[in-house]
Structure formats: structure tokens, C-alpha cells
Structure 1
Amino acid sequence: MRSANRRIRQACLASRTDAASARPSKLSVILSSVSDPGYHTRQEIQSELDWMKALSESGIKVPIPLIGLNEVALQNVKLAPEFGERFVVAFEWINGEEPNGEHLLKNFERLGSITASLHAHAKSWAKPDSFQRMTWDHETMVGSNSHWGNWKEAPFLTPDGIHIIHEAMSSVRWSMEAYGKSETRYGLIHSDLRLANLLLEGEETKLIDFDDCGFSWYMHDLASAVSFVEDHEDLPVWIDRWLTGYRSVAELTPEDISIIPALVMQRRIQLLSWFSSHADTMLAHQLGEVWVKNTVSLAAEYLSGRYLQNL
């Protein structure tokens, strides 16, 4: 999941050719992606671009990187002193609109369908030997040294709340270990495939923001799809429509369904980890103390066995 500091995406007007664009000198609209220092290595970003290129060639609509005059898409750019040197990629503008709440059920179905297509590609694609992306397993999502921070350090957590969440994560860990990491269940995923990262143009669905793509459980993409709304009363309906869309493309086993509550709970605590390290962001302020308290309540409900029990 992006943060304002970790990844800056902005539309800009390019009126000349420079190292980041091999296009002739003319007015064009592009999208620039600026990395945050330390989050990804150069090879990890290049691997992200490699997958996006392969997806585009397979017919899945994603942004297309522009090749520089130096014949590479990934550039090193020196910014203002306070920002230092960053990796930058310029993409061709991709048309479409973010889904709104007007056709929510249909959009969740579309999200499930495109996610299944993405997984099918990931399972069949021969990755380059140099391919490197981060791993999103239980430890790197919610462990004490997770990629996004330590959830126990999140604001507004009480000792009782920490204990309840710890017990819930112990149960989730056991469930994930039992589910396993076979090739049919674990591989390369988008890892932040929410409605906010879709662009719709007519009946065409396009995917954006592969910044967090990496190796994890395929069904984690479902947990990501319901980020921040894990306690919404309509969550079971949204999940059902996502599953309907997914099954229109690929099969799911009973074990894939039964692991959903654990995955969604794990994602919620992964977001709490993000909250702990981004407490000064606008989104964290919007979520606030109520969201943290609701997270503890969800963990208690999960421990009771009632959370998403009717899937």
C-alpha cells in the first residue's frame, strides 16, 4: 500500500525529450513513479517492470513504461537535496476511472475476475533468473520486524488490546502454516489489489500500482481487496461477489474458502503495522482511535470463531 513518502505518483506534462523519455519533443501526458529510498532495490523495481511488461503482452491492461534515451525505463534521478537520489519510471498515461460506490457489487465481481486472470498469468509465467520481489508471509506482514512496522507500537493500543491481537495472530499463524505454501496456493501476486487500484473504461478493466507486488498466498489478494473495511456489515456480500468473479475464471478449493477469515484478519493487522509507522499521515488521522479499537474487536470476534463464519 502506497504512502505519500514511499511512492509519489503524479500526472505531469512533458514538453521535451530527456533521459526518462525517448519520445520525440512534443506535448504528452505521462505518469511518473518515484521510489522511496530503502523500500525496493533497483533489481526489485526492474522485476516489477518485467512482470508488468509480460502482463501487457498477455493482454492484461497495465501502464506501459517509457524507454529512456539510454534504452532503459528505470532511471536514477537526483532530486532536491531533501529528497536525494531516487529511482524514477515514466509511464504512458492510462485512461480510465476509479470505481465508485454506484456499482459496488458489480465492481467487486470485476475485481475478482481480473485477480484470477492475474494469478493465472503468474502461475504460468517463466520469470527471469534475475527476478526479485519482497515476500509477504505471516512474519513479514505482522511479525515484529514486518515490512511496514510493528503493530504493537500503533497509537491507541492498550495492553489488553495487544494481548487480544497477539492471541488472534497466534491462531492465524497456525492456520496459515496448516494451509501451506504449495505452488497452487502461493506465488507472485499484486498484494494491494483493491478497487482503488482498478481503472475502468467501459467494460475494460485495467490494473495499476504494482509497488507491493511480491510472493504471498494468492488468496491474500482477496484480503487486500477489503482493506480497511474488514468490519463493514456488507463484507460477506462483497467477498461473495469477489468469489463469483474469481470463479468465472479459475477454480477455488474448499480450503481456499476456509482460509479467508484468517487472511482477512492477518491483513487487518498488517494495516495496523502500517498505521504504527505512518501515524502522521492523513489516512492514519482519518482512521484514528475508533479504527484501532475496532481492530481489537475484530480480533476478539476472530478468536470466538464468529468472524466470517458463514462464507
Structure 2
Amino acid sequence: MSADLPKTFRDALDIRARQALAHWGVADQQPELLKYRENAVFRVHLADGRPAALRLHRAGYHGEAALRSELQWMAALGDGGLAVPRPIAAMDGRLLVTLPSEEDFAAQHADVIAWVDGEPLGESGRPLSHSPERQVEIFSALGATMAEMHNLADRWTPPAGFWRAAWDKEGLIGERPLWGRFWDCAGLSAAQATQLSALRRDLQQRLATLPTPAKDFGLIHADLVRENVLVDAAAVKLIDFDDAGYGFRLFDVATALLKNRREPAYEAIEAALISGYRGRRALTNEALAALPLFLVLRSLTYIGWFAARPELPGARERVLRYADEALALARELGLA
């Protein structure tokens, strides 16, 4: 997506990145822009030559408390032995710095996190490239890593001032969901809006009557899609905690599975993920009975996310497609 940016803006973005890097004492380099979505993410190098990632956070998307809390939780997970990006302090000891408003940019925050090696598990919309046997290995490891992340979160005491958004009933299907009002957003057809409104009412009732084992709730990653799972020969690694917050643990499980449902080896993928998870944390059959609900809840989030970003290529088409896909999934899983 960075290739679509006008050259003048790219040049301004490079200057902005070096302005941020001055706080880490490494402004004399050419940052490599990797991604421009919620954040502008650059590959950079520290004074000792180690690679790292610089993030220029989208102004107004997350507040200072939320961004600092994200870094604190990543540090805690790293201390607990998980392979996640670890925050790197600026020269004055701060994990998060504030860049002033300028002609091309509003005031925004920046941080630097350690580089994590590995290849993304896959890319949304493209078949997984690994063999079925390797897919089972990867998803088993992912399930175990996810469970350990949940375990570490439960054992950790957040510091004073810690705040992250909640992927709870209100955050998913309340009046103001975290990723937008998917049932009445711009771009929907009248029929889609009607069906999504009815589905939302039904899901509210189902979520309110969850069996106790399915209510496991606490800090979650919330965006364990293929691109945020890095794979190497030894382990899986989790990146991009931008949307991490408090939520149902089954929401993490559903997110990791949703975009793989059309893979030929999906049944083996799902079984491997659940088996890996159960090797580290309890997940009963009664709880798993609610997995279809969370698959549908996750599918609905994409509608509002793209509706709120009409500037992205193909956003309107994606809103229509994701609405159709979510409604079809609800029917397929017996929820509509």
C-alpha cells in the first residue's frame, strides 16, 4: 500500500521518520517504509546496527495511554518468554515520544520496537503455501503460543494507568463498536442493512447467554490474522499488537481460524490449533460450542473497518463483499 503514496508525501514521511529517529540518536539513515495503514511502519537500524521497526502512529487513532499500555504489555509478554516485538527506549528513557504538528502532519506519537525475524504465515485472499503437514505443525504451535499469551496475561498485574479498549459485547455489537457500526454503515445495500441489523440483535442475545466456560475474558491480541503470525523453523512469533485489548479468548481463536476456512486442510488446521491451545490452557467442548458465534462476530468487524476507510483501494467493494460473506457464514453456521 505504501507504493500508492504520492512521492511528495513519501518524501515528507521520510523526513518525519528521521525526525522521530533523532530521539533514538539514529536520524542519519534512510528509513525503509514497509507499511502505511493505521501506522507508518519503517525498517530502521539502531546505533549498534541491529534492525528495528519505527512506528509513526496515526494521529487520533489511539491515545497516549493506550499506546504506552500496548508497549508495556509487549514488554511483559517478552519477559514471559514469548517471541514478540519488544519496545526500545529512546535516549531519554521514554518508550513513546510525541512529534509536534507540522505542515504535512498532525501531532502524533512514535515508538521503536525490536525487529522480529520470520516470514508471515500467509496473505489474506491467497492460499497457504505450506504443505498440509507443515500447516498442522504451524497451527499447533500457534495454538500453544496463543494459550501461553493468555496465561501470561492472567498472571500479569498491569501498571497504574494501563488502558486498552475492550472487545466485549459493546465493543463488538453495541451502539458504537470498536471497528464501526457494521449494520448501518455507508456502502451497504438496503437488504444487507436489514439482514445485518436482524443478525446483530440475535447475536446480542447469544452473547448475553454464553455458557460460563466460553466467557474466558482478559487481555487478547485481537488480530491474529496470517500477516501477524511470523513463522520460522523453530517457532511462531506474534506481531502487531495495535488492536490488543480486553476480550473473549475465543475471539483470538476465531480470528486465527476465520480466513483459513476455505483452505483444503481446514479441518486439520482447526484441530491442530485447538489441540495446541489445550496443551497449555483449558478449553472445554462446552466453550468450543460457542466458536461459531465468535467466527461470525469476527467476520462482522471487517465491514465497519473498511466502511470507515473509504480512501483505501476497493473499500466500497470490500464492504459489500464482507457483508455478504458474514451473512453467508452466519447461515452456514446456523446463526441466521
How much has 1:286 moved relative to structure 2? 7.4
- Between 123-132 and 233-242, report the one with greater CA deviation: 233-242
Q: Greater shift after overlay, 165-174 or 3-12?
A: 3-12
Q: Note if contact 1:63-1:94 (Cα within 8 Å) is conserved in structure 2.
A: yes
Corresponding residue number in structure 1 for 2:65: 43
Match of 1:6 in 2: 38
Name whichever of 112-121 and 224-233 sits farther off. 224-233
> How do 1:186-205 and structure 2 match up within 5 A?
186-205=217-236
Is the contact between residue 157 and residue 293 of structure 1 (CA under 8 Å) also seen in structure 2?
no
- Checking the alignment, whether the CA contact within 8 Å between 1:33 and 1:89 is kept in structure 2 is yes
Per-residue Cα deviation, 1:98-154 (whole angstroms, up to 9, x for no partner): 124213332222211110010011111112132111111122223342222221344
Q: Partners in 2 of 1:232 and 1:297 — Cα distance? A: 17
1:156-200: CA deviation from partner (whole Å, max 9, x where unpaired): 532222222222222221221112788971111111122321222
TM-score, length of structure 2 as denominator length:
0.78
Work out the CA distance in 1 between the residues paired with 2:54 and 2:101.
Answer: 13
Gaps spanning 5+ residues in structure 1: where?
15-24
How far residue 263 of structure 1 moved from its aligned partner, in angstroms, is 0.7
Q: 1:46 to 1:180 in 2, by over 3 A?
A: farther
Give the total of aligned pairs. 293
Q: What letter corresponds to residue 220 of structure 1 in structure 2?
A: F
Give 3-state SS (helix, strand or coil) of 1:206's partner: strand
The sequence identity of aligned pairs, in percent, is 24
Name the aligned partner's letter for residue 330 of structure 2. Answer: A
For the pair 1:265 / 2:296, whether they are aligned, the reply is: yes
Distance (Å, rounded) in 1 between the aligned partners of 2:112 and 2:240: 13
Q: Which residue of 2 aligns with 1:29?
A: 51
Q: Equivalent residue for 1:96?
A: 118
One-letter amino acid matched to 2:77: L
Which of 205, 215, 218 is matched with 1:174 structurally? 205
Aligned-residue CA RMSD (Å): 2.7
CA deviation after TM superposition for structure 1 residue 48, in Å: 1.1
- 1:233 to 1:180, Cα distance in 2 relative to 1, 3 A: same
Alignment check: 8 A CA contact 1:31 1:93 kept = yes
Amino acid at match of 2:136: L
Aligned mate of 1:85, from 100, 104, 107: 107
CA contact (8 A) 2:147 2:280 kept: yes
| In structure 1, distance between residues paired with 2:182 and 2:264 | 25
Distance (whole Å) between structure 2 residues aligned to residue 181 and residue 72 of structure 1: 41
Query: Matched residues in 2 for 1:298 and 1:182: separation?
Result: 24
After TM superposition, list the pairs within 5 Å mapping 1:64-213 onto structure 2.
Answer: 64-78=86-100, 80-100=102-122, 101=128, 102=130, 103-154=134-185, 157-179=188-210, 185-213=216-244
CA distance in 1, matches of 2:257, 2:311: 23
* Structure 1 CA distance for aligned equivalents of residues 41 and 264 of structure 2: 32
Secondary structure of the corresponding residue to residue 87 of structure 2: coil
C-alpha spacing 1:202/1:231, structure 2 compared with 1 (3 Å):
closer
Name the structure, 1 or 2, with higher relative contact order (CA <8 Å, separation 6+): 1
Q: Distance in 2 between matches of 1:80 and 1:62?
A: 33
SS in 2 for 1:264: helix
CA shift for structure 1 position 10: 1.9
Query: What is the deviation of 1:28?
Result: 4.0
Give 1:59's aligned residue: 81
Partner of 1:261: helix, strand, or coil?
helix
Helix, strand or coil for the counterpart of 1:131? Answer: coil
- TM-superposed deviation, 1:235: 4.6
Counterpart CA distance in 1 for 2:43 and 2:313 is: 21
Counterpart position of 2:328? 297
Identify which range, 254-263 or 280-289, moves more after superposition.
280-289
Summarize deviations over 1:247-269 as a string: whole Å, max 9, x none: 12112123310111111111111
Contact 1:155/1:279 (8 A) holds in 2: no
| CA distance, structure 1, for counterparts of residue 70 and residue 172 of structure 2 | 20
Contact 2:303 2:318 in 1 (8 A): no
- SS where residue 243 of structure 2 aligns? coil
1:183-230 per-position Cα deviation (integer Å, ceiling 9, x unaligned): 971111111122321222321222111111111101110121134455
Kept in 2: contact 1:228–1:268 (CA 8 A): no
Q: 1:291 to 1:269 in 2, by over 3 A?
A: closer
Match of 1:179, SS state, is coil
- TM-score with structure 1 length normalisation? 0.84
